[in-house]
A and B are shown apart, each in its own frame.
Chain A
Amino acid sequence: MATYKAPLRDIRFVLNEVLAESDPLPGDQEFDPETIDTVLDAAAQICEEVLQPLNRSGDEEGSVLENGVVRTPKGFKEAYEAFREGGWVGMPCAVEDGGQAMPRLLHNVVKEMFCSSNLAFGMFPGLSNGAYVAIRHHAEETLKRAYLPKLATGEWTGTMCLTEPQCGTDLGLIRTKAVPKGDGSYAITGTKIFISCGDHDFTENIVHLVLAKLPDAPEGIRGISLFLVPKRLPMADGKPGVHNGVTTGALEHKMGIKASPTCVLNFENSVGWLVGGQHRGMRCMFTMMNEARLSVGVQGLGLAEVAYQNARDYAKERTQGRSVAGTKDAAKTADPIIVHPDVRRNLLLIRSFTEGARAMAYWVGRLLDEAEKHPDADRRVAADELVQLLTPVVKAYLTDQGFASTVTAQQVYGGHGYIREHGVEQFVRDARIAQIYEGTNGIQALDLVGRKLPQNMGRLLRRFFHPVDAFIQANASDPKLTEFVMPLAKAFAKLQQATAQLAERGLKDPEDAVSGATDYLRLFGHVVMGFLWCRMAKLAQAKMAAGGDSDGFYAAKVMTARFFVERVLPETDTLFRTVLAGRRTLMEMPAEAF
């Protein structure tokens, strides 16, 4: 059986040390260090004691469709009740709606724990938050009043209904229709697929946000609108009333996250209300999608973390063979496998990822708070721009590396990782979806190269490149940091060159530029990690010099940083070359030759 302990020591390091230099923001005082500690401890408790124990059983049992109604696995409904009672659904929501107005940074921390303990369960509140944000930003006042408190308190849950059988990535092709009924509402008719948490038995009602086309809609992506369609129409007192023509046609049989019901939803003359104006659906959708993409990145981190914990424990217990350098534990018939370099390589690959990824995910959470609340308008804009730039990197890099980490953890187990008993194979299966949904990682790379790079003549880029450049300039001559900063400087130079090259190619031949997109995103991600690892190494060295490392935490941090810059960051050399390999190697082969 897999286990999970929230990594509170490292979480606090990132919160209190790595991100310590940030300016105070209005509202921060509500979340003073003691409050934050209380939140962290409470989150750890519900994750370790309620959610994690249901992870394996939820996977075995799965959600099922019975008589047109979805039944979640045993214990899930009760867990949701406890979760809701604890106020965890409305963490980032406004106080006036019944939420906690928790900083985004803290929300990201807690989300990591949910994902580690039970990703399938975490989907439910995650989708509610997405719907909440879209409605809060784009809906009219009456809709807000009716639905925001329901979502914030978790009384009802939310979904996003985009995909249809004939279209996923290319949403311009949707067919779901919205016909004005003359009373300000619309009749929605169509079929949506892959709708996570589209139906369940947690709550009496579900708020669907549905993309559909009005009768006079322009062709393509510019002609789609967003509608709020409740599963049951609220009555005058706000309680759910009659069913609204939304039915669950089927549940998908999936590779992972089996406890999360993935529905085919049929809408038949369902009553809906426009959110965000006619033909403005994509704009509203992007509000949800950007949120969701960052959250999906955290899923990669969360699964890598829990996979690491279990692989680490196994590597310390499991005895096989003797150390190449000579017997370590003569009392036993074999040494624990953690003596073997390759096992350590596997563990350090994961650990150098999770600790760097944690810093990255929390940093972006902090930037979200700055973008919203910083008193200086220029700083708000700058933070928002950096989030925009990093969103595809967080989504794709953290999920690609997160998935790879679960596989690496599985490898530590040998054959025992391939059987269900240890639970590590579930992490592999659960992690796989994160690379796919909310825009495949290929789409993220396109977004980065095709949209974020050229935007405002590269303005978004400077939000990242200038701080990194400044850090390198400021620390390059510090002899204690040379071993970290020099590899970063080299990787950064590669990223600068690749960026300039792609931008230039993008102007002449966009296909040439996007042919390097996936490798470019990975190169970018490595440099973000390298930057954060250098900062963490610097902090840890300072603590050690001040004599404050009784538990060896900072020494381990420096060693992990060293592993990253020496064994992961050099991949940037290869990526630099593959980014610039250009279109030819992909496009010269005619389709029929495949």
Chain B
Amino acid sequence: MAAPKLKIARVGVIGSGVMGGGIAAHVANAGIPVHLLDIVPKDGANRNAVAEGAIQRLLKTDPAPFMHAGAARLVTPGNIEDHLDRLAECDWIVEVVAENLTIKQEVYKKIDAHRKPGSIISSNTSTIPLGLLTKGLPKSFAKDFLITHFFNPPRYMRLLEIVAGPATKPKAVEIIRDFCDHALGKGVVDCKDTPGFIANRIGTYWIQAAINHAIDLGLSVEEADAVAGRPMGVPKTGIFGLLDLVGLDLMPHVSKSLLATLPEGDDYRRIYRLQALFEKMIADGYTGRKGKGGFYRLAKGADGSRVKEAIDLNTGDYHVAGKPRLESVEAARKGLKVLAEHPDKGGKYAWAVLRDTLGYAAALVPDIADQVTAVDEAMRLGYAWKRGPFEMIDQLGAKWFADRLAAEGRAVPPLLQTAVTAGGFYRTQGATVEYLGTDGAYHPIVRRPGVLLLSDVKRAAQPIVGNKAASLWDLGDGVACLEFHTKMNAFDADLMGMVKKAIDTVTKSYKALVIHNESDNFSVGANLGLALFAANVALWPPIEQLVDQGQKTFKALKYAPFPSVAAPSGMALGGGCEVLLHCSAIQAHAETYIGLVECGVGLVPGWGGTKELLTRWATMPGMPKGPMPPVAKAFETVAMAKVGKSAHESRELGFLRPTDGITMNRDRLLADAKAAALKLTKRYTAPEPPVLKLPGPTGVAAISLQVEGLTLQGKVTRHDQTVIAELAKVVTGGDDGDHIDPTSEDKLYALERQAFMRLVKTEGTLQRMEHMLTTGKPLRN
């Protein structure tokens, strides 16, 4: 389904700090031109220096706020004295200036004087109520005004909280919601005009509760983080690690603003504590990763290696960070309740944190949000919780939770009581999930138009076929969806077998195939661990067989009588990239990271990756004539194991064709892919085999010259030379390559396979594979 026509063609962002710059960058990522305005510096000739400096900073920031270099060119810097007239061009103006009502209102007056009628204004405030922001401003302004609260960094954090005031016209809210959903890819959550909105209200409370209980129960920083991390379904950094990440110095500001605005009797006031140690850490510059360190720091060990140290919460001294072994953490695999019931200190800690946080959240609906779904979504998207607070209560059992609260003499919030009576906050009725409304009745969760989630499809049906590595699902309208579900979605023989099975099944009974999954990463390539072990015991035939099986399968996918559309999100590396390259089309989530990274582990792509990339470059419009240009392009990308850091960058590297699509909102990816597949089914014919005229040995010589230069500069390691030599043979068509006689596709497959097998027998490659598996980083040997 096509996205609705956007009503926002140009955006103004006022304030170019970390958030303002990030928002401007992300709007540009969507292809929308942005005016970024900031103040005129007191001194200096360049009156745009602040905004210009912000753009320069954005270009250097890691992780990158821009999805590709071209996006930065869409951001026009200016200042709020000379360039206010530019706001007349903008359909949406976002205010991201200091959290100071007077300053903000000054800015609003300026905006209002220059904006075009009907344009929408929003504030990125996280602390000032909307009612105050518009106080005293014309009604015509208030009508077009709302709060859009982004999370940092705006490109990567999916949550966007929207708050509309009583005067805000519904149409404005709808336009912004659609824009942020479709163009910016955000998960938009409607909030009420209450302090901290949803995510920070609960998140700040959660952090405070977790700190307090760690200290009160005598847990070390490492122990607390080991419990309040993965075992609780929240980010693995844990609380102290999270504070190091966001900066300790941020917390006093958040607390201060919350305390200034929270209602009397709010439980946060009760649990709020100033920690002398934390104040000292901030004063001494121990503000976290951006400072000298925080609760953790990296110190130099005696042998010069880097040692992770953790702070002692009692003494403030650092020690070598321990790896706590808590039975409760082990037991947590069996579920959240097992963790919360465990008698050791980890279990006690988990319970105390859950009790306070979930109880607090349950008491806030409907004050901060109309429904529990908004709260759960906000915590999932804004704080990267695996489950929201109400979903966690369901994991524990609403009755169990309420009973335990009561047993400890704590108030049972009315909404929780309702859930106890009803039997939980969520229930599944056939294919639909229903949530418990504040009215005590269940209501179906309705996805927005154009949202299709594989998890919804799976809930409603059995797979068409499947094994332990992958499953094939029916998306309706004759489209099937192949889902990988191995660890990291790595390819093994089972997964490859299922790709083959999917081809057979779709050929017989369906019109098109979509390849998609909802994991963090589409696929990280072949299962290196299996390959390494086989290689270590010299079991070459099964390795070669897997290479061969993959080539045959991907070739069959490419020439199948039906169209296939891959819909990746996250990493699509190695084999995960090669499967994409063999599909009829790719519909990529904007946050897709594609690369043929095999050289990093001392191999060359074995499943047609080099061949497909060569083909893409050879058929790219506007490529210079002659056999070398596409060879050079493909060689460089594969030899350097380049990974596109976004779908856009992946397109620049040639992995995405000009005709392949990009979807900003992950929830819309599958629907877009399905639509693309259906479009292709009209008069579909399998592609013609490529005609590749490759230079052969003369190309190898040209590449060697180039590599020699790099070797002299010390950029090519000893084993790089071996790997590069093998890749050069493949990419030039081998000894028989000839720029008059085309090299066949099968010949290229054979060259890839032979090079792969030669490399996998070398010590250097095996060292690289092992290093990657044990450290996650490439070895430069």
Interface residues of A (CB under 8 A from B): 378, 456-459, 461-462, 465-466, 468-469, 496-497, 499-500, 503
Contact = CB atoms under 8 A, between A and B. Distances in A.
A462 B540 CA distance: 12
Nearest to B532: A457
Nearest to A492: B538
22 contacts: A378-B763, A457-B533, A457-B536, A457-B773, A457-B774, A458-B532, A458-B537, A459-B766, A461-B537, A462-B536, A462-B537, A462-B538, A465-B536, A465-B537, A466-B538, A468-B538, A469-B538, A496-B537, A496-B539, A500-B534, A500-B537, A503-B533
Interface in B499-540: 529, 532-540
Contact of A500 (B529, B533, B761, B763): B533
A465 B766 CA distance: 13
Nearest to B533: A458
B402 to A, nearest CB: 40
A221 to B, nearest CB: 14
Interface in B702-724: none
A462 B535 CA distance: 8
B770 interface: yes
Given A457-B770, A500-B537, 11 more contacts: A456-B774, A457-B533, A457-B536, A457-B773, A457-B774, A458-B533, A458-B537, A468-B538, A469-B538, A496-B537, A497-B539
A462 B766 contact: yes
Contacts of A462: 535-538, 766
A91 to B, nearest CB: 33
Contact of B539 (A378, A456, A459, A500): A500
A497 B535 CA distance: 12
Nearest to B763: A378
Nearest to B769: A457
Contacts of B761: 466
A461 B536 contact: yes
B542 to A, nearest CB: 8
Q: What does DSSP make chain A's interface, helix, strand, loop or mixed?
A: helix
A79 to B, nearest CB: 46
Nearest to A454: B533
A403 B532 CA distance: 37
Nearest to A470: B538
B35 to A, nearest CB: 54
Nearest to B531: A457
Contacts of B769: 457
Contacts of A457: 529, 532-533, 536, 769-770, 773-774
Interface string B535-568: 1111110000000000000000000000000000
Contacts of B536: 457-459, 461-462, 465
B612 to A, nearest CB: 30
A457 B774 CA distance: 9
Centre residue among B529, B537, B773 by max chain A CB count within 10 A: B537
A458 B770 CA distance: 9
B322 to A, nearest CB: 12
A382 to B, nearest CB: 8
A-B complex: 4 closest residue pairs judged by Cβ atoms: A458-B536, A469-B538, A462-B536, A465-B538
| Size class of the B contact interface (CB-based, 8 Å) | 10 to 19
B602 to A, nearest CB: 14
A310 B538 CA distance: 42
Contacts of B540: 469
Centre residue among A378, A457, A500 by max chain B CB count within 10 A: A457
A393 to B, nearest CB: 15
A560 B533 CA distance: 34
A458 B769 CA distance: 11
Centre residue among B533, B539, B540, B763 by max chain A CB count within 10 A: B533
Contacts of A461: 536-537
A378 B781 CA distance: 11
Contacts of A497: 539
A417 to B, nearest CB: 42
Interface in B615-669: none
B319 to A, nearest CB: 16
Nearest to B773: A457
A358 to B, nearest CB: 26
Given A457-B529, A457-B532, A462-B766, A499 B537 contact: yes
Nearest to A456: B770
Contacts of B773: 457
Contacts of B535: 462
Interface string B738-779: 000000000000000000000001010010011001100000
Nearest to A507: B529
B499 to A, nearest CB: 22
Contacts of B766: 459, 462
Contacts of A503: 533
A461 B532 CA distance: 11
Contacts of B537: 458, 461-462, 465, 496, 499-500
B146 to A, nearest CB: 54
Contacts of A458: 532-533, 536-537
Contacts of A378: 763
Interface in B404-446: none
A122 B770 CA distance: 42
A497 B542 CA distance: 11
Contacts of A459: 536, 766, 770
A270 to B, nearest CB: 32
B538 A496 contact: yes
Nearest to A458: B536
A500 B761 CA distance: 17
A204 B707 CA distance: 69
A540 to B, nearest CB: 26
Nearest to A493: B539
Contacts of B770: 456-457, 459
Contacts of B539: 496-497, 500
A209 to B, nearest CB: 26
B493 to A, nearest CB: 12
B390 to A, nearest CB: 36
Centre residue among A378, A459, A465, A468 by max chain B CB count within 10 A: A459
Interface string B581-601: 000000000000000000000
Nearest to A460: B536
Contacts of A496: 537-539
A77 B763 CA distance: 52
Nearest to B542: A500
Interface in B334-392: none
A378 B540 CA distance: 24
A395 to B, nearest CB: 22
Contacts of B529: 457
A220 B58 CA distance: 53
B5 to A, nearest CB: 53
A462 B770 CA distance: 12
Contacts of A500: 533-534, 537, 539
A355 B581 CA distance: 57
A325 to B, nearest CB: 44
A311 B539 CA distance: 42
A124 to B, nearest CB: 38
A370 B420 CA distance: 71
A238 to B, nearest CB: 33
A1 to B, nearest CB: 49
Contacts of B774: 456-457
A528 to B, nearest CB: 14
A415 B766 CA distance: 57
A456 B769 CA distance: 11
A465 B539 CA distance: 9
Nearest to B761: A466
A518 B533 CA distance: 21
A213 B539 CA distance: 46
A499 to B, nearest CB: 5
A504 B537 CA distance: 13
A389 to B, nearest CB: 11
A332 to B, nearest CB: 54
A469 B538 CA distance: 7
A466 B766 CA distance: 12
